[in-house]
Amino acid sequence: MPRRASGTLVLELKLRTARQKRCEDKVGVNRGVLGRIDWSVVGAIVALAAFSYAVTVLYKNLENISWDQVRQTIVTFPASRLALAGLATAISYLALVGYDVIALRLVGADRVPLRTTAITSFISHAVTFTLGFGVLTGGAVRMRLYRPWRVSTDQVLAVVLLCALSFWAGLAAIAGICLTLNPELVAALVGLDAVTCRILGLVILAALALWLVIAARKRTAIAIRDWQLPLPGAGTSLAAILVGMADVAAAAAALWVLLPNDLAVTLPGFLVVFSLATVVGVISHVPGGFGVFDAIVLLGTAKGAPSPELVSSLLLFRLVYYFVPVSIAAMMLVVYEVRARSRVAHEDSNPTAALFDPIIPPLAAIATFFGGLVLLISGTLPAERMSVVRNFIPLPFVEASHFIASLVGTILLVVANGLAHRLRSAWQLALLLLGGGVVFSVTKGLDFGEALICLAAAGLLFVGRKEFYRQGGVFSGRPSASALLAVAVAVGASAFIGLAIYRGVPYDNSLWWEFAYHQDASRFLRATLGAATIAIVIAAYQLMHRVTPKRHSISPSQVLEVEAIVRASKQITSELALIGDKQFLFSQSGDGFVMYGVRGSTWVAMGDPIAVRSADLIDLVWRFKENADEHRGVPVFYQVAADHLPVYLDAGFSLIKLGEDAWVDLEAFTLDGKVGRRLRQTKSRVERSGVSFEVIKAADVSNFFWALKRVSDAWLAVHGRREKGFSLGFWNEDYLRRHDIAVVRHEGRIVAFANILRKPAAATASLDLMRHVPDAPESVMDYLVVMLLEQAKTEGYKWFNLGMAPLSGLPEHRLASRWARFAGLFFRYGDRLYNFEGVRIFKSKFKPEWRPKYLAYEQSLRLPQTLLDIAGLISSSPQRVMAGRQQHEA
């Protein structure tokens, strides 16, 4: 709708709330067909269709109106009526403060001073009314300005939802009353009889009355997991309805006083039209309700063909109710940010002076988008100062400036999305384009107002330059449906305005090639074609271009540094750093690192950071998160141990259990007595078949690669297995020659092997790559593990890690999370994909101690994609290593 996208806001807040909770139940939920639909795309399609239809209606109804008539009406419009519209606008925004006051009291945040509440309400509503992106704009403003008063994120979300609820209640009350008292106007507009409209109004009022009765009898709340939205009681509900009615009535009055006198529309009758236009604007999902709201008002108030005065009234209403408040709000927000930064610079010792969630990136995105929109629309309007321009600017410069300014405006619409994502490249390009916009606005027609707008946007970007730190191309990545919609609506609105203005100019092919100071229609055609072409090209590139994450090569000195850290580490998983399939992020001290891989936009750290000191581990968790954020990536830590879970929780990660590691206590391990009888029998039986156990030293491993490769290839050939990596080793000669290899021979032939990982400082040993030929004696792998355990115990090791059993050890209680229940079913019945239960049974033979392993992740709604990216990284790791080796050799 034109005033606020409340329907979109509620949906966005629900999604936001779902993202915030740390849950384990998003994977495996059977969402059905509806759950698999991308509703943001559906919403964008609906919005585009509604906008297109509204533009068609407006174009047909405005065929007899020229731009000169509209401009003349605006210039001669009575200042007294503009003042009345401004007063009604002020009353509306004053009523909006009541939304926040009521909501803050309901969520228990009434400690916020009234002055702060009023300022925050004005800024957040002004921004939201204009753009409609509730959480990104209005919600972000509230989070920024309410945070110093210790209003939590959950409370802010509840406040935004309650404000939307108050607005809808007031709108419903206004519509119900007006439909009951004056149904004839709506009846003529929607094609229903007056009796039906009056009955509809009575039903609306009855529903509101029922709500008040229920609220009086029992206070209720909407609960979503651990988040609650408290619903108001009867008294508070009635106050919210009255505030909403005052807001809607004042907003409608701001437009009503601007309407032409000859329409003779009463305020109660116009309230019905205004309410209907608002509701249709919400349903359309068009940002700001542009076109849709205007079409409903024109059809509902005009008797016959709309007049130039009525069109002028709508344009002036948007100026008074939208542009002026949002401009004031933007200036207030900039002043607030500048003061906050100054306060932080002088009060570093005050912990409450820290900045929270800077609002500059979304504000800069809004300002840049608006600057681009102004340049684009200006390219469609007739030049006002061309008689002056022709005296000192040559025609080629004027024509080129006009065309380039429209192209610059179109690119700024796209670049704004990159600014919202804090891309450094978007910041640099936006500054360059805004500077060009300033120059071309002057040279194409002395449009100093446009130049000032571009200059103000550039100034905001410069002030907030430190907030744009993320790497990546400005046109990389697929744009969201809302971003595409915003660009499409902006370009479409510009084209519509131009077509409406130059309707009376007969089209001829020669128009494209006519160059003259007063050939505004020709300049409009060329600029529109250029803008549409560049918008389509950029959108097509973004939709079809898949960004391949850069894999940074490791220098020889870094390889030596990694090897030194691995040798000094007590973590057995540090050996996985030597496989050759990972990238590294080193700690500031240089004594630790995070080993990671990138798949799509998912940055996967393998295990806990490798660090000796806890300070380095904490530092690496945060630095990895920051590094991923700089590249627009989503950080996750795969297979982290339980020892450091508080570190991940403090860093904002959520956790799900992936399975359990099998750790054999070598001091308790024995083949003697009743406890070791089964393993003792297995060992004796296998040895009677003529096998022997041997350990090949790392220095001699290269001499046996031909035999070991034969075993590995035979093992892979069974059931069409493929090499996997990242979280486990694979056939890589550089990796294998670093470790001793335990082999089992049968009749002199190697039939099974495993590499041995040792950490003497931690008295821990493990194995990684385990393979055998299909025709090896039965239970040969049991025998291999038994022999390794015995040897490690003899060498003085205390623990032996047999690796993780995926999806094992998850709770089976009926009240367990959906993730745990789904993973448990997969563990029991997913043998066709992976022998989960068989792995657990095999390792259980050695009486291990089971230690849990977790996945630390941030975005719960993205968890399925995260798990798919991890699986893809594990399966593609060997191929990437081989490709890198071949490229290096070439």
Measuring CA to CA, which residue among 223, 50, 243, 221 is closest to residue 164? Answer: 243
Parallel, antiparallel, or unpaired for β 799-806 and 764-772? parallel
159-216 residue pLDDT tens: 877 887 888 888 888 888 878 877 776 666 556 677 888 888 888 889 888 888 887 7
Neighbours of 168 (CB within 10 A): 19
What is the pLDDT, as a whole number, of residue 339?
64
692, containing H or E segment: strand 691-696
Edge-to-edge strand list for the sheet holding 634-641: 583-586, 593-599, 602-606, 634-641, 849-857, 654-665, 799-806, 764-772, 749-759, 741-746, 691-696
pLDDT at 337 over 70: no
Mean predicted confidence (pLDDT) in 795-807: 87
229, containing H or E segment: strand 227-230
Mean predicted confidence (pLDDT) in 790-810: 84
Strand partners, 586: 593
pLDDT at 387 over 90: no
Q: What percent of the chain has pLDDT over 70?
A: 72
**CA dihedral defined by 756, 759, 764, 766, rounded to 10 degrees?**
-20
Contacts of 508 (CB under 8 A, 6+ apart): none
Contacts of 331 (CB under 8 A, 6+ apart): none
Measuring CA to CA, which residue among 634, 652, 653 is closest to residue 470? Answer: 634
pLDDT at 338 over 80: no
**Helix crossing, 234-256 with 79-106: angle to 10°?**
160
**Residue-by-residue DSSP string for 751-797:** EEEEEEEEEGGGTEEEEEEEEE-TTSPTTHHHHHHHHHHHHHHHTT-
Strand partners, 770: 754
Where is average pLDDT lowest: 343-357, 498-512, 761-775, 865-879? 343-357
What is the pLDDT, as a whole number, of residue 816?
55
How far apart CA 860 and CA 638 sit, in angstroms, is 15
Contacts of 853 (CB under 8 A, 6+ apart): 639, 640, 641, 657, 658, 659, 660, 661, 804
Confirm if 669 and 846 have CB atoms less than 8 A apart: yes
Averaged pLDDT of the chain: 76
Measuring CA to CA, which residue among 153, 102, 152, 93 is closest to residue 125? Answer: 93
Q: How far is CA 465 from the centre of its chain?
A: 21
3-state secondary structure of 824: helix
Q: Confidence band (pLDDT; 50, 70, 90) for 561?
A: confident
224, containing H or E segment: strand 221-224
602-635 residue pLDDT tens: 899 998 999 878 778 888 998 898 888 777 788 9
Where is average pLDDT lowest: 104-108, 467-471, 552-556, 670-674? 552-556
What is the pLDDT, as a whole number, of residue 744?
93
Mean predicted confidence (pLDDT) in 819-844: 58
How far apart CA 370 and CA 457 sit, in angstroms, is 9
Residue 681 is encoded by which pair of tokens? 């029998």
Residue 578 is encoded by which pair of tokens? 């030597």
What is the pLDDT, as a whole number, of residue 752?
93
Domain at 661-860: CATH code: 3.40.630.30
How far apart CA 845 and CA 837 sit, in angstroms, is 13
What is the pLDDT, as a whole number, of residue 274?
84
Long-range CB contact pairs, 812-817, < 8 A, 24+: 817/23, 817/24, 817/25, 817/656
Largest CA distance in the chain: 109
3-state SS, one letter per residue, for 362-431? HHHHHHHHHHHHHHHHHCCCCCCCHHHHCCCCCHHHHHHHHHHHHHHHHHHHHHHHHHHCCEHHHHHHHH
Confirm if 858 and 654 have CB atoms less than 8 A apart: yes
Strand partners, 852: 660
Mean predicted confidence (pLDDT) in 355-369: 68
756-792 residue pLDDT tens: 999 998 899 999 888 999 889 988 999 999 999 999 9
How far apart CA 97 and CA 16 sit, in angstroms, is 24
- The predicted model scores a pTM of 0.54
Long-range CB contact pairs, 859-866, < 8 A, 24+: 859/19, 859/634, 860/18, 860/19, 860/21, 860/22, 860/23, 860/26, 860/654, 861/15, 861/18, 861/19, 861/26, 862/634, 863/26, 863/27, 863/656, 864/26, 864/27, 865/600, 865/602, 866/602, 866/634, 866/636
Where is average pLDDT lowest: 31-35, 109-113, 422-426, 574-578? 31-35
Residues in the chain, total: 890
pLDDT at 284 over 70: no
How far apart CA 358 and CA 531 sit, in angstroms, is 32
pLDDT at 44 over 60: no
What is the pLDDT, as a whole number, of residue 137?
57
794 vs 447: which has the higher pLDDT? 794
What is the pLDDT, as a whole number, of residue 199?
87
Percent helix, strand, coil in the chain, to 5, is 65, 10, 25
How far apart CA 161 and CA 258 sit, in angstroms, is 32
Strand partners, 224: 227
Contacts of 210 (CB under 8 A, 6+ apart): none
pLDDT at 33 over 50: no
Q: Amino acid letter at 882?
A: M
Place of tokens 């009758």: 269
3-state secondary structure of 862: helix
Where is average pLDDT lowest: 8-12, 31-35, 43-47? 8-12
Mean predicted confidence (pLDDT) in 313-331: 82
3-state secondary structure of 219: coil
What is the pLDDT, as a whole number, of residue 788?
93
- Strand residue runs (E) in 91-145: none
Mean predicted confidence (pLDDT) in 12-40: 41
202 vs 306: which has the higher pLDDT? 202
How far apart CA 834 and CA 593 sit, in angstroms, is 31
691, containing H or E segment: strand 691-696
**Helix crossing, 234-256 with 153-181: angle to 10°?**
70
pLDDT at 466 over 80: no
131-161 residue pLDDT tens: 655 545 566 677 667 777 777 766 777 787 7
What is the pLDDT, as a whole number, of residue 797?
92
Confirm if 521 and 502 have CB atoms less than 8 A apart: yes
How far apart CA 330 and CA 488 sit, in angstroms, is 25
Please tell me what DSSP assigns to residue 513.
Answer: G
What is the pLDDT, as a whole number, of residue 19?
39
Q: Confidence band (pLDDT; 50, 70, 90) for 665?
A: very high
Check the CA dihedral 778-782-788-789 and report its sign. Answer: negative
Confirm if 652 and 628 have CB atoms less than 8 A apart: no
Measuring CA to CA, which residue among 284, 11, 248 is closest to residue 134? Answer: 11
3-state secondary structure of 586: strand
Q: Amino acid letter at 256?
A: W
Where is average pLDDT lowest: 143-157, 703-717, 838-852? 143-157
How far apart CA 218 and CA 220 sit, in angstroms, is 6
Measuring CA to CA, which residue among 554, 868, 871 is closest to residue 725? Answer: 871
**Domain assignments of the chain as residue spans, ordered by start:** 358-544, 661-860
Confirm if 742 and 752 have CB atoms less than 8 A apart: no
Where is average pLDDT lowest: 358-372, 538-552, 679-693? 538-552
What is the pLDDT, as a whole number, of residue 412?
87
Mean predicted confidence (pLDDT) in 223-237: 68
Confirm if 162 and 170 have CB atoms less than 8 A apart: no
3-state secondary structure of 284: helix
Mean predicted confidence (pLDDT) in 399-409: 80
How far apart CA 754 and CA 338 sit, in angstroms, is 62
What is the pLDDT, as a whole number, of residue 785?
92
pLDDT at 541 over 90: no
Q: Confidence band (pLDDT; 50, 70, 90) for 39?
A: very low
Long-range CB contact pairs, 773-777, < 8 A, 24+: 773/710, 773/711, 773/714, 773/715, 774/714, 774/715, 774/718, 775/751, 776/744, 776/746, 776/751, 776/752, 777/686, 777/689, 777/690, 777/691, 777/746, 777/751
729-764 residue pLDDT tens: 888 888 888 899 999 999 889 999 999 999 998 899
What is the pLDDT, as a whole number, of residue 350?
40
